[in-house]
């Protein structure tokens, strides 16, 4: 017994299944695969990202920008001792007196600037949208 596809799945409806059978075989009508590789998000009126039906967004991987990193500092304090007994050497010390100046010395770079995984927990299903 076939269902009335126009009542149950009007054009624009989404059908989600783990069954490999195309819904046109089950219900009739014409269907297309929908949202391949994407998760569905509910509509939210007035929201920049979620306020337009059919809008896509997000990233599978994301390379962090400097602005997205937590605020932090990397440095080593170096004291240049140019007193007669210091011999014009850098001394790594916070206790200094006399003719000594303070500078910061870079520690070095770290990281490879590669994108990181940005996937929410997921389950893969077949999704179809009825188009006629």
pLDDT of residue 97: 47
**Calpha distance 46→52 (Å, rounded):** 9
Q: What pLDDT does 93 receive? A: 47
Instruction: Evaluate whether 62 touches 116 at the Cβ level (below 8 Å).
Output: yes
Does the pLDDT at position 5 exceed 60? Answer: yes
Q: Give me the number of domains the chain comprises.
A: 1
91 in a domain, yes or no?
Answer: yes
Query: Is 30 within a domain?
Result: no
Q: Residue 18 corresponds to which tokens in the numbers above?
A: 């783990």
Q: What is the pTM of this model?
A: 0.65
Other beta carbons within 10 angstroms of residue 81's beta carbon come to: 19
86 DSSP 8-state letter: T
Instruction: Answer yes or no: is pLDDT of 100 > 80.
Output: no
DSSP class of 118: -
Residue 44 belongs to a domain? no
Residue 73: give the domain boundaries.
66-105
Question: Is 24 part of any domain?
Answer: no
Does residue 112 form part of some domain?
no
Within-domain flag for 116: no
Quickly state the pLDDT bin for 96 (edges 50, 70, 90): very low
> In this structure, is residue 74 part of a structural domain?
yes
Q: What is the pLDDT of residue 108?
A: 65
**pLDDT digits 0-9 by tens, 6-19:** 999 999 999 999 99
pLDDT tens figures, 63-90: 888 888 888 776 666 655 566 565 555 5
Q: What is the pLDDT of residue 56?
A: 93
pLDDT at position 82 is 61
In a domain, 18, yes or no: no
pLDDT value for 94: 45
> In whole numbers, what is the pLDDT of the chain averaged over residues?
81
> Can you tell me the distance from the alpha carbon of 77 to that of 103, in angstroms, rounded to the nearest whole number?
6
CB 18 within 8 A of CB 10: no
């Amino acid at each position: 017994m076939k269902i009335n596809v126009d009542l149950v799945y009007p054009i624009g409806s989404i059908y989600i299944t783990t069954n490999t059978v195309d819904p046109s075989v089950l219900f009739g009508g014409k269907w297309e695969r929908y949202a391949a590789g994407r998760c569905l998000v509910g509509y939210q009126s007035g929201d920049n990202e979620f306020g337009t039906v059919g809008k896509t967004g997000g990233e599978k991987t994301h390379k962090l920008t400097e602005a997205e990193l937590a605020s932090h500092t990397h440095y080593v304090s170096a004291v240049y001792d140019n007193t007669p007994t210091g011999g014009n050497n850098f001394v790594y010390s916070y206790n200094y007196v006399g003719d000594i100046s303070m500078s910061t010395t870079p520690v070095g770079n770290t990281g490879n600037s590669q994108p990181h995984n940005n996937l929410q927990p997921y389950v893969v299903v077949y999704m179809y949208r009825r188009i006629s």
